[in-house]
Amino acid sequence: MATKKLIGVTFVLSALVLTSCSSTGTGNGGPDAGDGTVPEVDGAGQKVTVWVMDGDYTEETLTAINERFTEETGAEVNLQVQTWDGIATKIATSLATDTPPDVLDVGNTQIASYAANGGLYDLTPFKDDLAQGRTWLDGLVDPATIDGQLYGVPGFAGARAVIYNKKMWADAGVTEEPETYDELTAALDKVQAANADVSDFSAFYLPGQYWFAGVQFVWDAGGEIATEEDGTWSGGFSSDDAKAGLEEFKSFQNAYSSAASATLNTTEPDQNQIFADGKTSAILNTNTNGILKVNPDLEGDLGTFPLPGRDGAQPVMLGGSDWAIPARSQAIELALNWVKIAASPEIQDEYVFAVDGWIPNSTEAIEAADADVPEVKKGFFAAALKSRATPANPNWTTIQNNKDIENVFKSVVSGSKSVDQAAEDFDAQLEKVLNLK
């Protein structure tokens, strides 16, 4: 389901399969870029195959896209819903064949892996037309852009925001949502003091391995995970800005989360359970569903807001989905038309948001949705307006799968390493992995 993307699950791709993808294998060669407009196509009697991940879009949304596509092109759609089990291998294998699906629903952080060695069609000439006058969210489009070339079109997003217990905060004398970092810490100080007699209480439960939270502090301080120049990647955590962010994350985590949480992640124990049990007044997460599943009585007590930083909200890492077209598709022109419809303002506003409940793919769509967003979800939508992404490098999945990124934050907040040593060690590993050919 889509939440697997939102918590950053990635997959190890088969090097053998990927290297079999030809950088020039482009099916029918694709359309002439011309003026950058997706060409109109008479597709009567033809069919495109679309792979969509289970749980990403509702049947109503997909039907709306397919019906408009058939009306405009005359072609039919072979929609195939894919399960998560084994999907990385299945996609990689399909990209190496001469008959892959024509459109893929791909996690935003997975685009670089599939684009390696020419696996995905270069959408760059049609970028402006596919955007249709809207500004895509950075956290969706940046990881789909490799060496300046676009390989994925944003579909939907999910963002992390602070979820807090309004009643618990009000009882502590906090009735306004904080908009600055100082206001946040002042509020948490009051909540912590008001619950001093509650054993194992955290004003803000933030486990040390929670790198999605930690990287927000790094970005907010002006740091980067990694940068690329002339094909060579350099780790960014050893910069003064990044180390300042690491220090701030450590200070915040040590001050407001439990001592035991310094070496833990968000699932063991489940942070939703901790919140539902009243052991914390705030967490950082992508939705309130997990809390309400455990304790439905909290529904009216929940509020959300973006995590404040030095200058407004901290940048967040978006989870979500992009649409990609395999380079060897035999129907690239039709695939472009299908993707353009899926990314269109109508589908984004009236279906992806209004029906599916996802954060739509552009700043304009989020602003258009503002009046209709339920109050408890506004924090997630607001957070998505200031987003970042992991490095657009096919080897990034190794860093996540090896838990290198989790461990650097754990070592800092637990004190097992100094900030300087943790940053140096992480950058060394990062450069080794990201520069593998």
pTM of the model: 0.90
Do 375 and 395 lie in a common domain? Answer: no
Do 128 and 240 lie in a common domain? Answer: no
Range of the domain at 331: 47-158+319-382
Within a domain: 267: yes
Do 219 and 249 lie in a common domain? Answer: yes
Do 232 and 208 lie in a common domain? Answer: yes
Which tens digit of pLDDT belongs to each residue from 219-243?
999 999 999 999 999 999 999 999 9
Do 289 and 426 lie in a common domain? Answer: yes
User: CB neighbours of 263 closer than 8 A, spacing ≥ 6?
Assistant: 208, 209, 410, 414
Within a domain: 35: no
Do 274 and 228 lie in a common domain? Answer: yes
Q: What is the rounded distance in angstroms from the CA atom of residue 45 to the CA atom of residue 70?
A: 11
CATH number, domain of 68, equals 3.40.190.10
Do 182 and 218 lie in a common domain? Answer: yes
Within a domain: 412: yes
Contact 109, 143 (CB under 8 A): yes
Do 314 and 204 lie in a common domain? Answer: yes
Do 425 and 281 lie in a common domain? Answer: yes
3-class state of residue 25 by DSSP: coil
Within a domain: 22: no
Number of structural domains (the chain) is 2
User: CB neighbours of 115 closer than 8 A, spacing ≥ 6?
Assistant: 146, 151, 324, 394
Mean pLDDT by 10 residues, the chain (437 residues): 38 35 44 86 97 97 98 98 94 96 95 93 98 98 95 97 98 97 98 95 98 98 97 97 98 97 96 97 96 96 98 96 97 98 98 96 96 96 96 94 96 98 98 96
Do 184 and 301 lie in a common domain? Answer: yes
Within a domain: 214: yes
Do 369 and 417 lie in a common domain? Answer: no
Within a domain: 363: yes
Which tens digit of pLDDT belongs to each residue from 127-178?
999 999 999 999 999 999 999 999 999 999 999 999 999 999 999 999 999 9
- Considering 382, 405, 420, which residue would you say is the last residue of a domain? 382
Q: Which helix (H) or strand (E) holds 155?
A: strand 153-158
Which tens digit of pLDDT belongs to each residue from 240-284?
999 999 999 999 999 999 999 999 999 999 999 999 999 999 999
| DSSP string of 332-400, one letter each residue | HHHHHHHHHHHTSHHHIIIIIITTT--B-SBHHHHHHHGGGS-GGGHHHHHHHTSEE-----TTHHHHH
Residue where the block lists tokens 């011309």: 34
Do 336 and 286 lie in a common domain? Answer: no
Within a domain: 419: yes
